[in-house]
Amino acid sequence: MSVIIERSSAAEHLTGELPEAPAPTPLARRRRTRSPGSIALDSGLYVTLMLAVIVMAFPVIWMLLSSFKTTAEVSAVPIQWLPENWNADNYAAVANSIPIGRMFFNSVMITAVGTGLKVLLGLTCAYALVFVNIPFKNVAFLLVLFTLLIPGQITIIPNYTLIAGLDLTNTYVGIILPGVASAFATFLFRQQFMQLPISLLEAAELDGAGHLRRLFRIVVPISVPTIAAVTLVTIVGEWNEYLWPSLVAKSPELMTLPVGLTHLQDIEGVQNWGVLLAATTLLTLPILIVFMVLQRRLVAGLTAGAVTG
């Protein structure tokens, strides 16, 4: 056999002929020759995508550009797209009118603590609902699902009555405490945990691992995409929360950025658009950057467990 291969190679070398290339597969031929209808459909989809991006991005771009404009430039007709002078006068006015640094700290601290507590309680509750044999756990899960149907505005009055009765108004604890339990996090974690192989936890139990060790050494590392998705959704919700902090925080030193924006509007007036848009930019950009960095984790976490088999 080796002699035949060597002779054929020598014959190809003498004649200068190269071996024939393999024929293209049907899939490759379809990729090379696309129908006009397919090209038109793809072009229409790209145009639709670009229009959607422009519609969604335009308010953010306009807000960012207008934060450097004067009030007259913002209200100019026809529209003046770019400011004549790029300066930070509006941002300086924001810093002089309200304690923006303190409000930024409040938003970061409340968002971090509230998100951490919600994720931690969601993990532990979901673990108990899936891996711990407790009575009536299905009934407890139905109650968790039922709370998802109740709008948060309905619980404002009883929560405020409770916080006021405990003398926790105008405190960080009063802002954070009523929202530490998240039915959404518990539900999503439970659905993820039900996809995990029970044999891993049984093996860990045979090795003497307790519930906390099984949760944080086995379940949590496997569920990182779902945890990241829940964390990101919770961060966005906590950062943008307005109604509850506006009721509990009485002094500017405890106000978050959304509440501080309303306080700034009361000081500057509703017509001072440049200053208001500068404050809105300071409120929007941090959470926008966080979302853009972690958006892949969000998609991966929300689709975790969607494919079985």
Give the pLDDT of residue 80: 85
Give the pLDDT of residue 14: 44
pLDDT tens-digit map of 62-110: 999 999 988 888 888 888 888 888 888 899 999 998 999 999 999 999 9
Residues of the chain with pLDDT under 70: 1-33, 297-309
Has residue 255 been placed in a domain? Answer: yes
Has residue 30 been placed in a domain? Answer: no
Has residue 69 been placed in a domain? Answer: no
Measure the CA–CA gap between 244 and 224, rounded to whole angstroms: 30
In the chain, the number of structural domains is 1
- CATH at residue 204: 1.10.3720.10
Dihedral of the alpha carbons of 141, 142, 146, 148, in degrees to the nearest 10: 40
Has residue 63 been placed in a domain? Answer: no
pLDDT tens-digit map of 181-214: 889 999 999 988 998 888 888 888 888 888 889 9
Give the pLDDT of residue 250: 86
Contact 272, 74 (CB under 8 A): no
Has residue 89 been placed in a domain? Answer: no
Q: Which of 223, 209, 253, 60 is nearest to 126 (CA)?
A: 223
List, in order, residues 6 or more apart from 2 with CB less than 8 Å away.
Answer: none
DSSP per position, 105-129: HHHHHHHHHHHHHHHHHHHHHHHHH
H or E segment to which residue 101 belongs: helix 100-131
Give the pLDDT of residue 18: 46
Has residue 199 been placed in a domain? Answer: yes
SS3 state at 223: coil
Give the pLDDT of residue 22: 56
Which structural domain range is residue 256 located in? 99-302
Measure the CA–CA gap between 185 and 201, rounded to whole angstroms: 22
DSSP per position, 252-304: GGG--HHHHHHHHHHHH-TT-HHHHHHHHHHHHHHHHHHHHHHHHHHHHHHTT
CB atoms under 10 Å from CB of 28, counted, come to 10
Contact 264, 94 (CB under 8 A): yes
Has residue 70 been placed in a domain? Answer: no
